[in-house]
Structure 1
Amino acid sequence: MEQYKNILENISKYVTLNEEETEKLIGIIRTTKIKKRQFIDQPNYVCQYRNYVVKGSFRSYFIDNEGKEHTVQIAIEDWFVSDFYSYITQTPATLFVEALEDSTIFQMTYDDIEGLCKEIHGLSEYFRITTERAFAFSRKRALSNLSMTAEERYLEILERYPNIVKRVPQKVIASYLGFTPEFLSKIRKNLTSKT
């Protein structure tokens, strides 16, 4: 039970599961080790798993028609990561989901989660809440990209997620924020000169 401590604590922030429900949830979890640069989702394949990051970090991204990468999500411990559109609709993925470090994840299949959610109201509630929060965050990020300067967006991620900025390669941070690594270096240099 100790190995599931983090995910169970995450769930308990939102809902309460009894012992039997907890055992059923643990019964559908598969622990998987992922090497740095390994993909857990790729375009044209249906995303079968909801992935919970136990240890490590990931990014999800797409490649545009000109071959440029655009990072849409960065995930570290205690976060879920997948091509969520593919997972929820069970249609082919459009994103790559790649490990940025050697990582460990808990994987739960779409069918297993759907089955348990029909049976366990608390679990259904948990996934509803976390999906809504992810949607709200995605909407906030889209608005930030439209209304904030590049420097303000960098300062926001620096303030909210200092761990991510320290661990994730700068080219990934730049891609996530919508600019080049060179432009990010310029922003960081400007901020350093202001202090």
Structure 2
Amino acid sequence: MNTELILKNVSKHITLNDAERQFFLSMLESRFIKRKELHLKEGEVCKHSTFIVSGALKGFTIDKQGIEHVINFAIKDWWIGDMYSLISQQPGILNIEALADSEVLMLSRENQHLLYEKVPKFERFFRIIVENSLVASQQRLINNLSLTAEERYLEFMKKYSSILEYAPLHTIASYLGITPEFLSKIRGRMARKPA
């Protein structure tokens, strides 16, 4: 199990001693997810917070017309899960799928609560993770309401430039709330602009 990256991720917000580090690592489950494999399916109860060691995942819903709507991405050194389902333990609305062969570390809800009990500073860590997620969701909502499609694409490129190696254009277009054809036009216009 490759744990160096997750320990660096945790150390951005809290400091662990050796015993706390070992206890945390003992709570994790390693999993390999093949490209296009579902990690979580709509209707299932989300039982884990998932940390991406390598690869990339996407969270999405499918509407009644069968159209996919990409809600979020998770790349190396990011966390993903269906937050509503994880917290409420109700059937979720998100599908989570690997965009590439991915190695992940999973922390079960039970183990997360055990961590809170045994190493209380993890409450701070996960509070910061949830706050950052809330800020990102709010910013995305504001961007969708106030920016043009081209401006949203530029913002996407700043935040997720590495996702281009994993996600096809139709997936990026879905995230931006535009058609793949319109995204192609935007990219073409940008390529023709003088540097």
TM interval, short-chain normalised = over 0.9
Q: Output one character per residue of 1:81-122: Cα deviation in whole Å (capped at 9) or x when no partner.
A: 111211121110111100010111001110110111122121
Q: What pairs up with 1:113-152 in 2 under 5 angstroms?
A: 113-152=112-151
Two-structure CA RMSD over aligned residues (Å): 1.1
Structure 2 equivalent of residue 112 of structure 1: 111
Identity %: 38
Q: Which moved more, 1:52-61 or 1:155-164?
A: 155-164
Q: What pairs up with 1:1-195 in 2 under 5 angstroms?
A: 3-195=2-194
Q: Secondary structure at the match of 2:100?
A: coil
> Retained in 2: the 8 A contact 1:57–1:77?
yes
| Whole-angstrom CA distance in 1 between matches of 2:91 and 2:24 | 26
Q: Secondary structure at the match of 2:3?
A: helix
Q: Which moved more, 1:114-123 or 1:104-113?
A: 114-123
Aligned length in residues: 194
* Structure 1 residues without counterparts, runs of 5 or longer: none
> Retained in 2: the 8 A contact 1:157–1:165?
no
| Whole-angstrom CA distance in 2 between matches of 1:160 and 1:109 | 28
Amino acid at match of 2:116: C
| Whole-angstrom CA distance in 2 between matches of 1:132 and 1:58 | 21
> Retained in 2: the 8 A contact 1:59–1:73?
yes
| Whole-angstrom CA distance in 1 between matches of 2:113 and 2:168 | 35
| Whole-angstrom CA distance in 2 between matches of 1:135 and 1:192 | 33
* Deviation at residue 76 of structure 1 after TM alignment: 0.7
> Retained in 2: the 8 A contact 1:33–1:104?
yes
TM-score scaled by length of structure 1: 0.96
* Deviation at residue 146 of structure 1 after TM alignment: 0.2
> Retained in 2: the 8 A contact 1:17–1:123?
no
> Retained in 1: the 8 A contact 2:100–2:166?
no
Q: Output one character per residue of 1:125-169: Cα deviation in whole Å (capped at 9) or x when no partner.
A: 101111111111101100000000000000111123221234321
* Structure 2 residues without counterparts, runs of 5 or longer: none
